[in-house]
Amino acid sequence: MWSKAGRTNISILLVILVFLTGVAATVGFYNITGAIATPQQSYLSANDSNQPASISIPSNLGPGTIADIVDKVGPAVVRIDTVTETRVESPFDDPFFRQFFGEEFDFGPREQRSLGSGFIISKDGYILTNQHVIEGAKEVKVTLVGYDKPIDARIVGADRSLDLAILKINTSKSLPFLKLGDVDKVRVGDWAIAIGNPNGLDHTVTVGVISAKGRPIDIENRHYENLLQTDASINPGNSGGPLLNLKGEVIGINTAVNVGAQGIGFAIPSSTVQPVLNDLMTKGKIARPWMGVGLNQVTPDVAEILGLGKNKGALITKVVPGSPAARAGIQKYDIVLEFNGQTVKDPNDLVSKVQALKIGQSVKLKVFRRGKIIDINLVLGEKPSE
């Protein structure tokens, strides 16, 4: 059973006999929302006068190597506490009860609290974390090493699909920050260090290796592609914290754990973060090219009947009104066979081809429709916010 490592649901549920008092209260641990800001400081400048909190490691590793790295990078790792409002479900919502009481009893919203982790990526206070750590939050506070009190943070940008978010805090001090490393140079078996706040235990350090690369997994209603797998211990509350190499560079953002197993944790690789970080910091979202269609597989039986061969294409199951696909004349039940002269193998292949292009780019489609193959020209639009 998979679980996001992201939020520690430290839930204290007080239900005070609703039949007698009609009152229920819930206290848990959860998240926030905020305004868009424009960054003033480059987040990955290797030539910055205030260098990232990375450390040079000698070729001969010693017993103090991990501790030296933690001493250097630890102050750039933060705790994130969030508050959301959630409606308390009432037994009077059930039709069985309503037939006696004649109305729905609403206990109103209750605050729920959560915690997660994050790390500073610029000296002026930009913080990278998981989107699920701050999803739906009305209040976000960040706790830093060396500060007596938590600091209010605002959400600068977030993307649910990639599960990434940027926060901003304002301080009078120049902050330590971490540098994103090159995950392409990471090999299976390389050492990995995780730092975070599992179950509220601040700045917990765990060590392991990279167990695998390129893992796709599904958690709840999210699909993750190309994750790093590690046996460094990751638990609820670790989400959003850094997974580090032996240079003190961030190679992944700790995200999920298999709660039914030991030593199976996952992190979003730095290669996923690098291309979208500027959009999140400057635009508050990730601009993606978009056709505006729903897709499904073409079954082997249908492909055989239609004579489509092994490369079966992608079946259009929905056309979003007003989308680029709708404007181009694409219809439900069309089958996309080619995209810009390239064969479309399946829906995932079509999605990959779209994502490889830019917003506003013109493409040519070859579509199978009611026994005929037709050509359609389409201009990719920007995918709306989810």
Structure tokens at 249: 């560079």
To the query of whether residue 239 is one of the catalytic residues in this protein, the response is yes
Contacts of 317 (CB under 8 A, 6+ apart): 293, 294, 295, 296, 332, 333
Candidate list 54, 122, 211, 239, residue with the active-site label: 239
Q: Which of 142, 125, 130, 135 is nearest to 79 (CA)?
A: 142
Candidate list 132, 159, 271, 334, residue with the active-site label: 132
Contacts of 302 (CB under 8 A, 6+ apart): 308, 312
To the query of whether residue 132 is one of the catalytic residues in this protein, the response is yes
To the query of whether residue 163 is one of the catalytic residues in this protein, the response is yes
Between the alpha carbon of residue 147 and those of residues 9, 79, 274, the distances in Å are 25, 12, 29
Candidate list 81, 159, 163, 334, residue with the active-site label: 163
- Which residues are tagged catalytic? 132, 163, 239
